[in-house]
Amino acid sequence: MSSGLYRKSVFFLFFLLFFLNYLKKNIVSSIYYMRFVNKPLEKTFFKI
């Protein structure tokens, strides 16, 4: 029982670390995406 719980908690910790790392990368990439894609989009929309 305790060994199964330990395994689950370790798996959960690894999953959490992986998820946080993924989120961090995603946030950084989304910020770059917003910077480089929204500027030309805004220009085109303001022209229209």
User: What is the Cα–Cα distance from 28 to 47, expressed in whole angstroms?
Assistant: 29
Domain range list for the chain: 1-48
- What is the DSSP secondary structure assignment for residue 48, as one 8-state letter? -
> Token digits for 6?
């330990």
pLDDT along the chain (48 residues), means of 10: 86 94 88 76 63
pLDDT value at residue 41: 65
